[in-house]
Structure formats: C-alpha cells, structure tokens
Structure 1
C-alpha cells in the first residue's frame, strides 16, 4: 500500500478545521506573472497531516513527526532536506533540537505541492493501481482497489471500466491510457 496520506483514513478521528490564519493562501508568481495557488483540499491535507502527526499536540513537529507528515503528503524527503528545513524554519528548544510550527510547515508543504510535476504525480498514482508492476491496471488490480475502498461495484462494471479505457485492447489500462483518462 502507499505511504501517501489518505484523508479518508481519518474517519472517526476528531481533527479541528484550520482557522483563517492557518488557511492563508500560498501563491507563487511564474514567469508569466500569473498566480498559482493550492486548492482548499490541499490546504486541508496539509493541516490534517500536521495535526495527525503532532503527537503531543504542542503545535510543533520535531524531526521525526515532520518526516512522517511530509511522507503522508507524498514527499519522500532526505535527511539532509529535512534538516535544512529545520535549520531554516525551526525554532530552537532548550534541549538544542529544533521544532517547526504549523505556519512554517504549511509554507514549505504548499511550496512543495506547487512544485510537483502533474504527469509525475499521475505516474505515481498509476503505480499504486499497478501493484504487480506489469505495466497494466487489470481487472484484478481494480477489483482489489474497489474492495480496499469498501465500494460495492459489480465485477461486470469493473470489466466495463477496463474495456472503455483500454484503447489498445491489451486487457488493461496502460500508463499512457491512465494519464490520458486523468488529463481529459
């Protein structure tokens, strides 16, 4: 299974909504001077990842909490990258370790989200479906995902989904077909 954070995994857990200050919009200016912002859903995911892994509820993340929070958001950061973030944004504590507060974690996470390559994200998503690594999302792959999500979709409907998007009739959805489906 993926190490990607799943907002559905929080069912039954009480996590407060971010306040307005915590929901501040992060924008970047590209060469064309257009402003790009993260979505409300992405803001909520950042907040939930922070809240979920702020294990002692002190409003700060230590190195290990920050590492799993970024992993939950889909980022596999190296030790060097994590330490650099703490060096830049961390607040020193009495025991000489640094902690990152929510606003700074949000700023870094939102920037990383904006820097993602959408095609690379789709390729990673494809790999989650293609668990056997054969380059195809087959009936068995899709059936397993449907079961894991607790959905009640008839086998006939799963076959129809595969058939509809399997443009080269190889019995499954290949990576390019998957990308085409998601970008249409």
Structure 2
C-alpha cells in the first residue's frame, strides 16, 4: 500500500467486500487520460474508510476522515478537511457534517490519480532512510527486513546494497532508489 497504514491490521475487523457493499460504485478516472485507479487502490480506499468508521455507521466525521486520509498517505490541512466536509459532507440531525463512503472514495481516488510518482518514491525512500542520512544502508534495510518478518540473510542484504549502490558510497541514495523503482 502506498499509505502508511498496514492492511494486515485489518484482519481483526470483519470487512465486507467493497464490491458487495457498494455495487453502484464506479471506478474513478482521470478525465484527461482516462486512467482509472487499480483494484488494489480501490481496496485500500475501502479498507481505510472501513477501519476508521469507528462506529460503523457508514460515515466518517472530521477526525475519522483525517486519519483515513492519512492512512492513504495524504496529509491534509484542517482547512482542506473542513472544506471537504462542507462540500461533500451530509449534515446530520445533531448539526455535524459527515462524509459517506461514495464521496470519500471519489475524493481519495482523485487524489491518488493526482499523485506525482517521483514524489511518492521520495516518500518511500524516506521511510527506509530512518536516520535521515540520505542513504539506505545495511542497518536500515536489516531493520525493515526484521520488521516485516522476512528471512533474508545478512549476506543477501549486503548483496542487494552492493548491486544498487552505483556510486559505491556504502548505501543506496535517493536517486539510486528512484532508478531501481522506475527501471
């Protein structure tokens, strides 16, 4: 997933398939290129909505919406979030504005289509480069391997670094990372 939340955390919450619950939902497309989001991206949007619809009422309030967008990798300002609720939200009997799944999906899909792939890769690089030194080093990669529970030997990690470290500075820099991901 391109966002920061881990879909593995959803296993404890029963979530119906987005295709059954929202059969009328159509794929978001970019009008200029007619490119639609992937099935995986659709599922990520659905999972984010479902996970943060804390009271399972089919709506997100301001706070739920904020963390759902963050889970998808979007850091929206308070002003942007309030604008979304004002434009797309439904006013409830208690005066609160809430956003339903269809509108959340439409906004999220549009934002996904507007993403700059290079900026996304730079954000991904920063997740690996936890110490912020501009390199993905053996220690950085080893930590990720351990966190993911993967069984990769130290020798193989060193080989990965060596293969992609073109300037031989002991790690993979941002440009090398981008080159790896875009080849």
Tell me which residue corresponds to 1:14.
Answer: 14
Aligned residue for 2:35, secondary structure, equals strand
SS of residue in 2 equivalent to 1:133: coil
Once the two structures are superposed, the pairs formed by residues 83-122 of structure 1 within 5 Å of their partners are 83-122=82-121
The structural deviation recorded for 1:4 is: 1.2
What's the counterpart of residue 126 of structure 2? 127
CA drift at 1:29: 1.8
Deviation at 1:6, TM superposition (A): 2.0
- 4+ residue runs over 3 A deviation: none
Question: How many pairs does the alignment contain?
Answer: 180
Aligned-pair distance for 1:26? Answer: 0.5
CA distance in 1, matches of 2:46, 2:120: 20
Q: Is the 8 A contact 1:136 1:172 kept in 2?
A: yes
CA–CA distance in structure 2, aligned partners of residues 16 and 27 of structure 1: 24
Helix, strand or coil for the counterpart of 1:11? helix
Note the aligned Cα RMSD (angstroms).
1.5
Q: Mind listing any 5+ residue stretches in structure 1 that lack a counterpart?
A: none
TM-score by length of 2: 0.94
Equivalent residue, structure 2, for 1:151? 150
> How far off is 1:40 after superposition?
0.5
TM-score calculated relative to the size of structure 1: 0.94
Distance (whole Å) between structure 2 residues aligned to residue 101 and residue 95 of structure 1:
16
Contact 1:129 1:145 in 2 (8 A): yes
Moved more, 114-123 or 5-14: 5-14
Structure with greater proportional helix content: 2
Q: 2: distance between equivalents of 1:136 and 1:181? A: 14
User: What's the CA shift string for 1:84-130, capped at 9, x where partnerless?
Assistant: 00001100011111000000000000000001000000000000000
Deviation at 1:14, TM superposition (A): 2.3
